Amino acid sequence: MSLADQVLAVNNDLPIRTDAPVHSGKVRSVYWLTASDSRRLIEEKSYDVAADTPLAIMVISDRISAFDCVWRGEGGMKGVPGKGAALNAISNHWFKLFKEQGLADSHILDIPHPFVWIVQKAKPVMIEAICRQYITGSMWRSYTKGEREFCGIELAEGLEKDSKLSELLQTPSTKGILEGIPGVPAVDDVNITRKNIEDNFTAFNFKSLDDITLYEKFLTEGFDVISDALAKLDQIFVDTKFEFGYVKDRDGNDKLIYMDEVGTPDSSRIWDGEEYRAGKVVENSKEGFRQLLLNHFPDADILLNKDRMPEREALARDNELPASVLMAVSETYTAIAEKITGEKIVLSENPKQEVINILRDEYQLVD
């Protein structure tokens, strides 16, 4: 069996019973269950939600996206072996730790398979909630251009690349294109200030002004839990992105929760502590893949300049990356997952069929 066979690249064609279109993102696909299946599972599995809560099956893939494009390798490799299982394992680990330490809940109700979450419907807050403990990435690029205000926060003069900031910074950006918000351009992923959010909290899907403070509390708490746990492994939690949303509790009240993934190499930068102390940054996250792409193609501006998106999409579509590149990414993802969880990431011989079998036999969701 080839490695390409062990990659789950297409995850939106599973025969899961649904009466709604499958929503397929860059990495995950979401199957909304029928009302009767949702109600049945809530009762059979005793999920702690209201009886009429809509449920979905969320299936991760091994696809890898960077710079808003999905990339593939030679030899028919349309993803990174072990990546999906590693991402889910890491998120599951952190969500479990959050629960043990009394932090907010997540949208995940059940984990039937390493590639699968059963989730409750959530109304997302339209913010990419970003926390930064070091100056690197886009913040450093802006800083080198002379910018000293970042999301309404004043940065000191004389900062050095990859150095630790004096405090943990929250630097939110928009999630999706939001129309009609004064001072906020209607494009995806725009940096915003706390005042932008306060003045337009309903446009960002907050239920109240107080919930802005609550999301900031959850953001800091989640960051600190993960950062402290990684420090024990001599890994540095550099920065990360959280997402939040509202669900209904068993009594029908709105509740702010964590959603999507947390603390993974896709949503965070993680550096090796020993190497950092020796003056070298070694990425245990997707940032290493991004840097590789920037070095691999002669015109890096195509990857960094949003105005050149058609050229960027053509790069991703027309270029197969060396298999060694994707295997290096695989090693990064599985190694950090095994370090965090203490458990081996096992590559499935046929992940798609495994998922189908479990959802059919144990959940009766496949006809």
Instruction: For each of the domains in the chain, give its residue range(s) and CATH number, in order of start.
Output: 3-80+107-121+347-361 (no CATH), 123-277 (3.30.470.20)
What is the DSSP secondary-structure string of 266-300? TTEEEEEHHHHHTT---B-STHHHHHHHHHHSS-T
- 130: tokens are 């970003």
Would you write out the chain's pLDDT as a tens digit for each of its 367 residues?
Answer: 566 777 899 999 999 999 999 999 989 999 999 999 999 999 999 999 999 999 999 999 999 999 999 999 998 899 999 999 999 999 999 999 999 999 999 999 999 999 999 999 999 999 999 999 999 988 999 999 999 999 999 999 999 999 999 999 999 999 988 988 998 988 888 999 999 999 999 999 999 999 999 999 999 999 999 999 999 999 999 999 999 999 988 888 999 999 999 999 999 999 999 999 999 999 999 989 999 999 999 999 999 998 999 999 999 999 999 999 999 999 999 999 999 999 999 888 889 999 999 999 999 999 8
For residues 119 and 258, the answer to whether their CB atoms sit within 8 Å is: no
Residues 6+ apart with CB under 8 A from 287: 137, 269
